């Protein structure tokens, strides 16, 4: 029991003591009606075990509860996720995202050299898938050689363009920035710009003619260098991303009537199992 009426300060003790005074008639004014209700509720047995200390109940119209519900949170999460996915898809379609997310290379930003590099990347991507075929190993070596000469190639491409402009131009100024490099190159070789450019254009056209011939011979076309690799890989693998299925497809093609139910094994084992089963049958 707290001892609040003996603080040692007379005025304070009187104040606290007065608060403890007995009931006044005013305070017991509603006793009869309250007791009627009290006894009726107790007698009716209306008891709630969880009502011993009732919790404050917020009004359903409260704005706080409206924003605390889960439905708006879920809706907000869905909207955010949709916007993120749509933005990523749009960026991928526009070629803004880096290689793993890019749907296609932007031709404006890619010159011939980078097209070659794209082919190299695709080859290297497919290397781990089709290395069993023994085809891509040679191509990787070729592409790496192209890579080592890529700087010179791009330089000559720029000179080739400038030379074509020089040769086709009516009023050429050797002092202009575009032709200054040609003048330097020609001076280094001890020839005129016309002679230098004529030689360069001839060499370039002859070189490209042989490349086009190679491409035509492969039936690949120059615009999509990656597709031939995939089509070539299709001869050996049905789906590049699922190397096991490649063996599985071979297994099916080799032993499709084997009736073996275990499809999780490798193609060779399936094929062997199919042969064994057919042999047993």
Partner 1 sequence: MWILGGVQRPALDDATFPDVLVRALEGDRSAAEQLFVDLQPRLLRYLRSLEPSAADDIASETWYSIARGLGSFRGDLAGFRSWSFSIARRRLIDHRRIAARRPVAFESLDDTAGVMLMGRSDDAADTALDHLSGQGAADTIARHLPPEQAEVVLLRVLGDLDVTEVAEVMGRSANWVRVNQHRALRRLAEKFGEGVIPAGDPTISLA
Residues that bind partner 1 (CB under 8 A): 1-4, 7-12, 14-24, 27-28, 30-31, 34-35, 37-39, 41-43, 45-49, 51-59, 61-62
Which of left, alpha, beta for 262 (phi over 0: left; psi -120 to 50: alpha)? beta
Closer residue to partner 1 in complex, CB, 15/213 = 15
CA distance 239 to 264: 16
Closer residue to partner 1 in complex, CB, 28/187 = 28
CA distance 69 to 204: 71
Closer residue to partner 1 in complex, CB, 11/134 = 11
* Cα atoms in the Cβ-side hemisphere of radius 13 Å centred on 119: 24
Is the separation of the CB atoms in 93 and 103 below 8 Å? yes
Q: Closest distance between partner 1 and the C-beta of residue 13, in Å?
A: 9
Q: Closest distance between partner 1 and the C-beta of residue 73, in Å?
A: 24
Closer residue to partner 1 in complex, CB, 56/279 = 56
Closer residue to partner 1 in complex, CB, 37/253 = 37
Is the separation of the CB atoms in 245 and 228 below 8 Å? no
Closer residue to partner 1 in complex, CB, 42/180 = 42
Closest residue by Cα to residue 224 from 96, 98, 104 = 104
Helix residue spans in the chain (DSSP H): 10-19, 31-44, 63-68, 70-93, 112-130, 136-148, 150-168, 177-189, 193-218, 226-234, 243-255, 267-280
Q: Closest distance between partner 1 and the C-beta of residue 71, in Å?
A: 23
Greatest CA separation for the chain = 127
Q: Closest distance between partner 1 and the C-beta of residue 68, in Å?
A: 15
Is the separation of the CB atoms in 143 and 116 below 8 Å? yes
Q: Closest distance between partner 1 and the C-beta of residue 63, in Å?
A: 9
Closer residue to partner 1 in complex, CB, 16/92 = 16
Q: Closest distance between partner 1 and the C-beta of residue 17, in Å?
A: 8
CA distance 109 to 91: 15
Q: Closest distance between partner 1 and the C-beta of residue 46, in Å?
A: 6
DSSP 9: -
CA distance 195 to 206: 17
């Amino acid at each position: 029991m707290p001892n609040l009426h003996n603080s040692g300060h007379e005025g304070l003790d009187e104040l606290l003591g007065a608060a403890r005074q007995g009931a006044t008639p005013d305070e017991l004014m509603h006793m009869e009606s309250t007791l009627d209700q009290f006894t009726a509720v107790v007698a009716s047995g209306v008891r709630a075990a969880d009502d011993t200390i009732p919790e404050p109940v917020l009004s359903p119209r409260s704005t706080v509860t409206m924003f605390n519900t889960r439905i708006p949170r879920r809706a907000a999460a869905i909207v955010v996720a949709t916007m993120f996915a749509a933005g990523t898809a749009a960026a991928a379609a526009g070629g803004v995202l880096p290689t793993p997310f890019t749907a296609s290379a932007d031709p404006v930003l890619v010159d011939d050299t980078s097209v070659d590099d794209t082919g190299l990347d695709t080859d290297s991507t497919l290397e781990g898938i089709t290395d069993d075929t023994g085809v891509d190993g040679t191509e990787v070596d070729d592409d790496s050689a192209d890579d080592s000469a890529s700087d010179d190639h791009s330089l000559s491409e720029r000179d080739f363009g400038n030379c074509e402009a020089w040769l086709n131009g009516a009023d050429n100024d050797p002092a202009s920035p575009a032709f200054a490099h040609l003048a330097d190159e020609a001076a280094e070789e001890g020839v005129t710009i016309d002679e230098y450019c004529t030689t360069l254009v001839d060499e370039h056209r002859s070189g490209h003619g042989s490349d086009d011939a190679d491409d035509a011979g492969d039936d690949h076309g120059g615009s999509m260098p990656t597709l031939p690799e995939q089509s070539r890989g299709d001869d050996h693998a049905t789906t590049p991303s699922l190397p096991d299925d490649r063996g599985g497809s071979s297994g099916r093609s080799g032993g499709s009537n084997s009736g073996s139910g275990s499809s999780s094994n490798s193609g060779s084992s399936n094929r062997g199992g199919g042969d064994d089963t057919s042999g047993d049958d």
